[in-house]
Amino acid sequence: MLLGLGIELSPAHFLYTGPLLTAMPALAALTMGPVGTLSAAAGALGVSLTTTTMHHAWGDTQIYSNLLGLLVVSAASVMTSNAMCNRRQSELDQIRRIAVAAQEVILQPVPARLGPVRTSSLYLAAETGAQIGGDLYEALPTPYGVRVIVGDVRGKGLAAVRSAAAVLSAFREAAHYEDELMAVMNHCSAALRREHSGPDDAVKDCGDDHAEGFVTALVAQVPPGEPVVDVVNFGHPPPLLVHNGKVHELAPTSPLPPLGLEEFVTDPPAKAESYPFAVGDRLLLYTDGVIEARNRCKDFFALPEAIEAVHARTTEEFLGQLHDSLIRHTEGHLTDDTAMIVLERADV
Protein backbone atom coordinates (compact mmCIF):
# COMPACT_ATOMS: atom_id res chain seq x y z
CA MET A 1 0.00 0.00 0.00
CA LEU A 2 2.86 2.38 0.77
CA LEU A 3 4.44 1.53 -2.57
CA GLY A 4 1.18 2.25 -4.39
CA LEU A 5 0.69 5.49 -2.51
CA GLY A 6 4.25 6.57 -3.29
CA ILE A 7 3.76 5.89 -7.01
CA GLU A 8 0.49 7.79 -7.10
CA LEU A 9 2.01 10.83 -5.38
CA SER A 10 5.17 10.84 -7.52
CA PRO A 11 5.74 11.93 -11.13
CA ALA A 12 5.31 8.23 -12.02
CA HIS A 13 1.59 8.39 -11.17
CA PHE A 14 0.80 7.43 -14.77
CA LEU A 15 1.65 3.83 -13.74
CA TYR A 16 -1.49 1.82 -12.96
CA THR A 17 -1.42 0.63 -9.32
CA GLY A 18 -4.91 -0.87 -9.18
CA PRO A 19 -3.80 -4.55 -9.37
CA LEU A 20 -1.19 -3.93 -6.66
CA LEU A 21 -3.79 -2.55 -4.25
CA THR A 22 -6.34 -5.23 -5.11
CA ALA A 23 -3.87 -7.94 -4.03
CA MET A 24 -3.34 -6.44 -0.57
CA PRO A 25 -6.35 -8.05 1.22
CA ALA A 26 -5.50 -11.47 -0.22
CA LEU A 27 -1.90 -11.21 1.00
CA ALA A 28 -3.03 -10.01 4.44
CA ALA A 29 -5.40 -12.98 4.77
CA LEU A 30 -2.40 -15.35 4.85
CA THR A 31 -1.12 -14.17 8.23
CA MET A 32 -3.10 -11.30 9.74
CA GLY A 33 -6.49 -12.79 10.60
CA PRO A 34 -9.94 -11.30 9.86
CA VAL A 35 -9.29 -7.97 11.62
CA GLY A 36 -5.91 -7.47 9.95
CA THR A 37 -7.35 -8.44 6.56
CA LEU A 38 -10.21 -5.99 6.96
CA SER A 39 -7.73 -3.28 7.95
CA ALA A 40 -5.62 -3.99 4.86
CA ALA A 41 -8.70 -3.84 2.67
CA ALA A 42 -9.73 -0.53 4.22
CA GLY A 43 -6.21 0.84 3.69
CA ALA A 44 -6.15 -0.24 0.04
CA LEU A 45 -9.58 1.26 -0.51
CA GLY A 46 -8.50 4.49 1.18
CA VAL A 47 -5.44 4.79 -1.07
CA SER A 48 -7.54 4.14 -4.17
CA LEU A 49 -10.18 6.75 -3.27
CA THR A 50 -7.58 9.34 -2.24
CA THR A 51 -5.49 9.07 -5.37
CA THR A 52 -8.55 8.94 -7.63
CA THR A 53 -9.84 12.18 -6.11
CA MET A 54 -6.40 13.85 -6.30
CA HIS A 55 -6.04 13.06 -10.01
CA HIS A 56 -9.70 13.85 -10.81
CA ALA A 57 -10.10 10.39 -12.34
CA TRP A 58 -13.74 9.88 -11.46
CA GLY A 59 -15.76 8.83 -14.47
CA ASP A 60 -13.13 6.48 -15.84
CA THR A 61 -14.67 2.99 -16.13
CA GLN A 62 -11.32 1.46 -15.20
CA ILE A 63 -11.54 3.14 -11.80
CA TYR A 64 -14.94 1.61 -11.08
CA SER A 65 -13.77 -1.82 -12.25
CA ASN A 66 -10.76 -1.53 -9.96
CA LEU A 67 -12.89 -0.56 -6.94
CA LEU A 68 -15.36 -3.37 -7.63
CA GLY A 69 -12.51 -5.90 -7.86
CA LEU A 70 -11.03 -4.58 -4.63
CA LEU A 71 -14.36 -4.98 -2.81
CA VAL A 72 -14.86 -8.54 -4.11
CA VAL A 73 -11.31 -9.61 -3.21
CA SER A 74 -11.63 -7.98 0.23
CA ALA A 75 -14.87 -9.78 1.05
CA ALA A 76 -13.47 -13.13 -0.09
CA SER A 77 -10.22 -12.57 1.84
CA VAL A 78 -12.01 -11.72 5.08
CA MET A 79 -14.20 -14.84 4.85
CA THR A 80 -11.17 -17.00 4.01
CA SER A 81 -9.14 -15.56 6.87
CA ASN A 82 -12.00 -16.15 9.31
CA ALA A 83 -12.31 -19.79 8.19
CA MET A 84 -8.55 -20.31 8.58
CA CYS A 85 -8.61 -18.83 12.08
CA ASN A 86 -11.50 -21.06 13.11
CA ARG A 87 -9.67 -24.14 11.81
CA ARG A 88 -6.45 -23.19 13.61
CA GLN A 89 -8.35 -22.58 16.85
CA SER A 90 -10.06 -25.95 16.55
CA GLU A 91 -6.69 -27.67 16.05
CA LEU A 92 -5.19 -25.77 18.99
CA ASP A 93 -8.10 -26.75 21.25
CA GLN A 94 -7.60 -30.39 20.30
CA ILE A 95 -3.86 -30.19 21.06
CA ARG A 96 -4.62 -28.65 24.46
CA ARG A 97 -7.08 -31.42 25.28
CA ILE A 98 -4.41 -33.99 24.40
CA ALA A 99 -1.88 -32.14 26.57
CA VAL A 100 -4.26 -32.13 29.53
CA ALA A 101 -4.92 -35.86 29.08
CA ALA A 102 -1.17 -36.52 28.92
CA GLN A 103 -0.62 -34.51 32.08
CA GLU A 104 -3.28 -36.50 33.93
CA VAL A 105 -1.55 -39.74 32.91
CA ILE A 106 2.01 -38.67 33.72
CA LEU A 107 1.30 -36.36 36.67
CA GLN A 108 -1.81 -37.70 38.33
CA PRO A 109 -3.52 -35.49 40.93
CA VAL A 110 -2.38 -36.22 44.47
CA PRO A 111 -5.23 -37.17 46.85
CA ALA A 112 -5.91 -34.78 49.70
CA ARG A 113 -5.47 -37.58 52.27
CA LEU A 114 -3.23 -40.63 52.15
CA GLY A 115 -3.25 -42.73 55.31
CA PRO A 116 -1.63 -40.76 58.13
CA VAL A 117 -0.79 -37.69 56.00
CA ARG A 118 -2.57 -34.86 54.27
CA THR A 119 -1.09 -33.97 50.89
CA SER A 120 -1.19 -31.30 48.22
CA SER A 121 0.82 -30.72 45.05
CA LEU A 122 1.61 -27.94 42.59
CA TYR A 123 3.18 -28.01 39.14
CA LEU A 124 4.12 -25.06 36.94
CA ALA A 125 5.65 -25.61 33.51
CA ALA A 126 8.03 -22.85 32.47
CA GLU A 127 7.40 -23.29 28.73
CA THR A 128 4.56 -21.09 27.49
CA GLY A 129 1.42 -23.13 26.83
CA ALA A 130 2.91 -26.33 28.24
CA GLN A 131 1.07 -28.58 30.66
CA ILE A 132 3.91 -30.98 31.43
CA GLY A 133 7.69 -30.84 31.41
CA GLY A 134 10.74 -32.42 33.00
CA ASP A 135 9.66 -32.31 36.66
CA LEU A 136 7.84 -35.26 38.23
CA TYR A 137 6.08 -36.21 41.45
CA GLU A 138 3.82 -38.92 42.84
CA ALA A 139 2.39 -39.96 46.20
CA LEU A 140 1.05 -43.46 46.81
CA PRO A 141 -0.41 -45.45 49.71
CA THR A 142 1.49 -48.74 49.94
CA PRO A 143 1.72 -51.65 52.41
CA TYR A 144 4.85 -49.97 53.77
CA GLY A 145 3.29 -46.56 54.29
CA VAL A 146 2.85 -43.47 52.16
CA ARG A 147 5.61 -43.21 49.58
CA VAL A 148 6.37 -40.00 47.69
CA ILE A 149 8.77 -39.19 44.87
CA VAL A 150 9.86 -35.85 43.47
CA GLY A 151 12.32 -35.57 40.59
CA ASP A 152 13.80 -33.29 37.96
CA VAL A 153 14.90 -34.53 34.55
CA ARG A 154 17.93 -32.94 32.96
CA GLY A 155 16.89 -31.05 29.85
CA LYS A 156 13.53 -30.11 28.41
CA GLY A 157 11.20 -31.07 25.62
CA LEU A 158 9.93 -34.45 24.54
CA ALA A 159 12.99 -36.35 25.81
CA ALA A 160 12.48 -34.97 29.32
CA VAL A 161 8.81 -35.95 29.30
CA ARG A 162 9.68 -39.48 28.20
CA SER A 163 12.28 -39.84 30.95
CA ALA A 164 9.85 -38.52 33.56
CA ALA A 165 7.20 -41.00 32.41
CA ALA A 166 9.67 -43.90 32.62
CA VAL A 167 10.72 -43.05 36.19
CA LEU A 168 7.15 -42.51 37.37
CA SER A 169 5.92 -45.75 35.84
CA ALA A 170 8.68 -47.72 37.55
CA PHE A 171 8.01 -46.00 40.88
CA ARG A 172 4.26 -46.66 40.75
CA GLU A 173 4.93 -50.34 40.18
CA ALA A 174 7.87 -51.00 42.53
CA ALA A 175 6.54 -48.91 45.43
CA HIS A 176 3.88 -51.51 46.15
CA TYR A 177 6.06 -54.62 46.46
CA GLU A 178 9.62 -53.52 47.37
CA ASP A 179 10.05 -53.11 51.14
CA GLU A 180 13.23 -50.99 50.83
CA LEU A 181 13.22 -47.51 49.35
CA MET A 182 16.62 -48.13 47.80
CA ALA A 183 15.20 -51.11 45.92
CA VAL A 184 12.34 -48.96 44.64
CA MET A 185 14.80 -46.42 43.29
CA ASN A 186 16.87 -49.17 41.68
CA HIS A 187 13.82 -50.02 39.60
CA CYS A 188 13.47 -46.37 38.63
CA SER A 189 17.12 -46.21 37.61
CA ALA A 190 16.79 -49.37 35.52
CA ALA A 191 13.72 -47.96 33.78
CA LEU A 192 15.64 -44.78 32.98
CA ARG A 193 18.52 -46.76 31.50
CA ARG A 194 16.11 -48.76 29.33
CA GLU A 195 14.51 -45.54 28.14
CA HIS A 196 17.87 -44.08 27.17
CA SER A 197 19.03 -47.21 25.38
CA GLY A 198 15.74 -47.85 23.55
CA PRO A 199 15.56 -48.38 19.77
CA ASP A 200 13.56 -45.21 19.15
CA ASP A 201 15.99 -42.76 17.57
CA ALA A 202 13.38 -40.20 16.69
CA VAL A 203 13.76 -38.41 19.99
CA LYS A 204 17.53 -38.75 20.09
CA ASP A 205 17.80 -36.95 16.75
CA CYS A 206 15.97 -33.89 18.08
CA GLY A 207 19.12 -32.39 19.63
CA ASP A 208 18.14 -33.10 23.25
CA ASP A 209 21.18 -35.31 24.04
CA HIS A 210 18.71 -37.95 25.15
CA ALA A 211 21.28 -40.65 25.77
CA GLU A 212 23.21 -38.52 28.29
CA GLY A 213 20.25 -37.50 30.47
CA PHE A 214 19.91 -38.05 34.20
CA VAL A 215 17.27 -37.43 36.86
CA THR A 216 17.73 -35.95 40.30
CA ALA A 217 15.18 -37.61 42.55
CA LEU A 218 14.10 -37.83 46.16
CA VAL A 219 11.83 -40.47 47.64
CA ALA A 220 10.23 -40.25 51.08
CA GLN A 221 8.24 -42.75 53.14
CA VAL A 222 5.89 -42.12 56.04
CA PRO A 223 5.42 -45.52 57.72
CA PRO A 224 2.21 -46.21 59.62
CA GLY A 225 2.39 -46.06 63.38
CA GLU A 226 5.81 -44.35 63.52
CA PRO A 227 6.41 -40.58 63.91
CA VAL A 228 9.26 -40.60 61.37
CA VAL A 229 9.88 -40.03 57.70
CA ASP A 230 12.42 -42.04 55.72
CA VAL A 231 14.27 -40.25 52.90
CA VAL A 232 16.58 -41.34 50.09
CA ASN A 233 18.13 -38.51 48.08
CA PHE A 234 19.66 -38.94 44.62
CA GLY A 235 21.30 -35.58 43.99
CA HIS A 236 18.07 -33.66 44.60
CA PRO A 237 17.52 -30.48 46.67
CA PRO A 238 16.90 -31.65 50.26
CA PRO A 239 13.34 -31.54 51.62
CA LEU A 240 12.33 -28.94 54.17
CA LEU A 241 10.66 -29.96 57.44
CA VAL A 242 8.42 -27.42 59.15
CA HIS A 243 8.27 -28.07 62.90
CA ASN A 244 6.67 -25.57 65.29
CA GLY A 245 6.88 -22.88 62.61
CA LYS A 246 10.62 -23.36 62.02
CA VAL A 247 12.15 -24.75 58.85
CA HIS A 248 14.78 -27.50 58.99
CA GLU A 249 16.68 -28.78 55.96
CA LEU A 250 16.95 -32.57 55.81
CA ALA A 251 20.33 -32.75 54.08
CA PRO A 252 21.59 -36.30 53.41
CA THR A 253 24.61 -37.53 55.35
CA SER A 254 25.51 -39.87 52.48
CA PRO A 255 24.93 -38.03 49.20
CA LEU A 256 24.05 -40.14 46.18
CA PRO A 257 24.40 -39.26 42.49
CA PRO A 258 21.34 -38.63 40.30
CA LEU A 259 19.63 -41.54 38.62
CA GLY A 260 21.55 -42.43 35.48
CA LEU A 261 24.97 -41.59 36.94
CA GLU A 262 25.37 -44.53 39.33
CA GLU A 263 28.32 -45.96 37.36
CA PHE A 264 30.49 -43.10 38.61
CA VAL A 265 30.13 -44.21 42.25
CA THR A 266 32.18 -47.07 43.68
CA ASP A 267 30.82 -47.03 47.24
CA PRO A 268 27.88 -49.31 48.08
CA PRO A 269 24.45 -47.63 47.99
CA ALA A 270 23.36 -45.97 51.22
CA LYS A 271 20.17 -46.82 53.06
CA ALA A 272 17.25 -44.55 53.77
CA GLU A 273 17.76 -41.93 56.47
CA SER A 274 15.06 -41.39 59.12
CA TYR A 275 13.99 -38.08 60.60
CA PRO A 276 11.35 -37.20 63.23
CA PHE A 277 7.97 -36.40 61.70
CA ALA A 278 5.46 -35.61 64.43
CA VAL A 279 1.78 -34.81 64.22
CA GLY A 280 1.32 -31.32 62.77
CA ASP A 281 4.71 -31.27 61.04
CA ARG A 282 4.87 -30.49 57.36
CA LEU A 283 7.39 -31.78 54.84
CA LEU A 284 7.95 -29.90 51.58
CA LEU A 285 9.49 -31.68 48.59
CA TYR A 286 10.31 -29.49 45.60
CA THR A 287 12.43 -29.16 42.47
CA ASP A 288 15.27 -26.75 41.83
CA GLY A 289 13.00 -24.56 39.74
CA VAL A 290 11.73 -23.18 43.07
CA ILE A 291 15.01 -22.31 44.77
CA GLU A 292 16.69 -21.17 41.54
CA ALA A 293 13.89 -18.79 40.57
CA ARG A 294 15.26 -15.25 40.35
CA ASN A 295 13.85 -11.75 40.33
CA ARG A 296 14.96 -8.92 38.07
CA CYS A 297 17.93 -8.28 40.42
CA LYS A 298 19.04 -11.92 39.95
CA ASP A 299 18.30 -12.77 43.59
CA PHE A 300 17.28 -16.38 44.26
CA PHE A 301 13.92 -17.16 45.82
CA ALA A 302 14.39 -17.56 49.58
CA LEU A 303 12.27 -20.65 50.11
CA PRO A 304 12.87 -21.21 53.88
CA GLU A 305 11.99 -17.60 54.67
CA ALA A 306 8.92 -17.79 52.46
CA ILE A 307 7.78 -20.94 54.27
CA GLU A 308 8.15 -19.34 57.68
CA ALA A 309 6.04 -16.41 56.47
CA VAL A 310 3.19 -18.75 55.51
CA HIS A 311 0.24 -19.04 57.87
CA ALA A 312 -2.08 -21.64 56.38
CA ARG A 313 -4.44 -24.12 57.98
CA THR A 314 -4.50 -26.62 55.12
CA THR A 315 -1.83 -28.03 52.84
CA GLU A 316 -3.62 -26.56 49.82
CA GLU A 317 -3.50 -23.08 51.35
CA PHE A 318 0.15 -23.68 52.27
CA LEU A 319 1.14 -24.33 48.65
CA GLY A 320 -1.12 -21.57 47.43
CA GLN A 321 0.67 -18.98 49.55
CA LEU A 322 4.08 -20.31 48.49
CA HIS A 323 2.96 -20.11 44.88
CA ASP A 324 1.90 -16.48 45.34
CA SER A 325 5.26 -15.64 46.92
CA LEU A 326 7.14 -17.30 44.06
CA ILE A 327 5.12 -15.47 41.41
CA ARG A 328 5.65 -12.14 43.16
CA HIS A 329 9.39 -12.79 43.39
CA THR A 330 9.76 -13.64 39.68
CA GLU A 331 7.01 -11.27 38.51
CA GLY A 332 5.45 -14.23 36.74
CA HIS A 333 8.53 -15.09 34.66
CA LEU A 334 9.59 -18.64 35.50
CA THR A 335 12.64 -19.93 33.65
CA ASP A 336 12.39 -23.55 34.78
CA ASP A 337 9.68 -26.07 35.54
CA THR A 338 8.53 -26.00 39.14
CA ALA A 339 7.01 -28.79 41.23
CA MET A 340 6.13 -28.87 44.92
CA ILE A 341 4.38 -31.44 47.09
CA VAL A 342 3.70 -31.02 50.80
CA LEU A 343 2.95 -33.72 53.39
CA GLU A 344 1.36 -32.92 56.75
CA ARG A 345 1.39 -35.54 59.51
CA ALA A 346 -2.23 -35.92 60.60
CA ASP A 347 -1.87 -38.84 63.01
CA VAL A 348 0.49 -41.62 64.00
Domain ranges of the chain: 2-99, 107-345
Nearest 5 degrees, angle CA 186-CA 215-CA 157? 135
Q: Which amino acid is at 112?
A: A
Instruction: List pLDDT tens digits, range 79-107.
Output: 888 888 888 888 888 877 776 676 666 77
The pLDDT value recorded for residue 133 is 63
Confidence of residue 211 (pLDDT cuts 50, 70, 90): very low
The pLDDT value recorded for residue 198 is 62
Confidence of residue 210 (pLDDT cuts 50, 70, 90): very low
Mean pLDDT of the chain: 82
Please give the share of the chain, as a percent, with pLDDT higher than 70. Answer: 81
Q: Does 342 score more than 80 pLDDT?
A: yes
Q: Which helix (H) or strand (E) holds 135?
A: strand 135-142
Handedness of CA 23, 25, 29, 32 (dihedral sign): positive
The set of residues, in sequence order, having a beta carbon less than 8 Å from that of 274 and lying 6+ positions away, is 228, 229, 230, 231
Instruction: List pLDDT tens digits, range 245-290.
Output: 899 999 998 888 998 887 766 666 678 999 999 999 999 999 998 9
Give the mean pLDDT of 215-230.
Answer: 93
Give the mean pLDDT of 230-255.
Answer: 92
Q: Do 338 and 126 form a contact (C-beta atoms < 8 A)?
A: yes
> Domain 107-345 carries which CATH code?
3.60.40.10
Backbone dihedral angles phi then psi of residue 214, each to the nearest 5 degrees: -145, 170
Its pTM stands at 0.71
